[in-house]
Amino acid sequence: MQLCRVEGTVISTRKHPSFNGWRFLICQPLDCDGRADGIPVVALDSLGAGIHQKVVVTSDGLAARRAVGDDLSPARMMTIAIVDEAEKEISRSEGATTA
């Protein structure tokens, strides 16, 4: 699973029928310091995550197919949690010395 920040939404009318009624959120994966890291992905959202909120995105297709209720759906990325706070115990420099 990936810690991401919601940075946008996507509007699509012509899509796989199993996605009807689902929100698409543009989620930017974050590194351990909370900075943008990598390419944004579009995830299905049923939790109502707001813009710039941190979410946890899973790429488990089985859970996504069950959530959309269609075994023949190509659903894959999905938000499964909205993050209140993500504390990091080991800072980057400290982590480097112990590893």
Q: Say which residue the tokens 């939404």 belong to.
A: 9
Q: Which residues contact 97 (CB under 8 A, 6 or more apart)?
A: none
Minimum CB separation of residue 86 from another protein in Å reads 12
Tell whether residue 75 is a contact of another protein (CB under 8 A).
Answer: yes
Tell whether residue 72 is a contact of another protein (CB under 8 A).
Answer: yes
Tell whether residue 8 is a contact of another protein (CB under 8 A).
Answer: yes
Question: Which residue in the set 3, 45, 49, 65 belongs to the binding site for another protein (CB under 8 A)?
Answer: 65
CB 42 within 8 A of CB 27: yes
Tell me the pairing of strands 78-82 and 54-58: antiparallel
- Sign of the Cα torsion 34, 38, 39, 41 reads negative
Say how far apart CA 58 and CA 43 lie, in whole Å.
Answer: 9
Minimum CB separation of residue 99 from another protein in Å reads 24
Tell whether residue 36 is a contact of another protein (CB under 8 A).
Answer: yes
Residues making contact with another protein (CB under 8 A): 5, 7-16, 19, 24, 26, 28, 34-36, 38-44, 51-52, 59, 61, 64-65, 71-77
